[in-house]
A and B are shown apart, each in its own frame.
Chain A
Amino acid sequence: MNTTLQKTNPETAARPERKEYVLPEVNIFENRDGYVLEAEMPGVNKEGLEVLLEGHELTIVGHRRHAPLEGEVIFRESHAADFRRVFELDPAIDTGRISASMTQGVLTLTLPKSERVKPRKITVTE
């Protein structure tokens, strides 16, 4: 399955410290030009986002903007922990051209395939 993006085991992935994280929900699409990864990280803005690349291992970290919770909390379902998830990238991805955008708590990563692996249409000449 080296042609798809795969999540690595969080236990074996390098961790700077033992800290609790929430796994963001993701959608991953592939088309001819590359992959698109969408990750849900409510409460995270551009400033709180980290996208780290080590070889073909991609780590996304989202630090939540801490809005002060004053008063009596009657119930709380949201998590306080930051988001983190690690992906093993398809080697066909041109890691130098990865781009990211953050809109209303959703990270969109565009991961283009390098030119040499893209399917190429060859015109047959007489």
Chain B
Amino acid sequence: MKLVRLQNSTVPAWPAFGRLTDLRDEIDRLFDSTFGDFARLPSVFSGWTPAVDLIETKDNVVVRAELPGMKREDIEVTLHEGALNIAGERKSDRKVEEGGLHRSERFFGRFQRTISLPAPVAADKVKADYKDGILTVTLPKTEEAKPKQIDVSVS
């Protein structure tokens, strides 16, 4: 996992979008955060760390995550104190006969990534799109965070 610089943000304390979690989800989260990066070591735990790209444009912060084979309703995107949290559960509904599994490289189960955002964003204007197994979250920067061009008249 890569670290990006932390910055105080003007995002409200609780996400303006997302959903309320039930108890089960909350317990899973606690479990995830207890183990933290330790749980991401594939040699110790078999887990899933989806690849994430973080891009900053003039107007937006864009986060892209590779999440192949998910259902939209199983992806949870939340924003909290300047950090974007992408979590979810990949489920398999395939029934496997005994001795019928020849290769098993895909991960099924819960995953979570938290990405510190490089600029304050307008929480109410965040958009998420899921296509071809890639989640793209577009977070518009707040007006204050956008680069400004100031015309200085030279006399």
Contact = CB atoms under 8 A, between A and B. Distances in A.
Interface residues of B, number: 35
Contact of A69 (B55, B102, B131): B55
B132 A25 contact: no
Contacts of A73: 53-55
A31 B102 contact: no
Contact of B103 (A26, A65, A67, A74): A26
A15 to B, nearest CB: 22
A106 interface: yes
Interface in A69-98: 69-79
B102 A28 contact: yes
A42 B132 contact: yes
Interface string A38-76: 101111110000000000000000000101011111111
Interface stretch (B15-23, B32-40, B65-73): B65-73
Interface of B: 2, 4, 51-58, 60, 62, 64, 66-70, 94, 96-97, 100-106, 118, 130-134, 136
A44 B70 CA distance: 14
Interface of A: 4-5, 25-32, 35-36, 38, 40-45, 65, 67, 69-79, 103-106
Contacts of B54: 73-76
A69 B134 CA distance: 14
A33 to B, nearest CB: 11
Q: Is the interface of A mostly helix, strand, loop or mixed?
A: loop
A48 to B, nearest CB: 9
Given A31-B97, A38-B106, 13 more contacts: A28-B101, A30-B102, A40-B68, A42-B67, A42-B134, A43-B134, A70-B57, A71-B58, A75-B4, A77-B2, A77-B51, A78-B66, A79-B51
A104 B105 contact: no
B70 A104 contact: yes
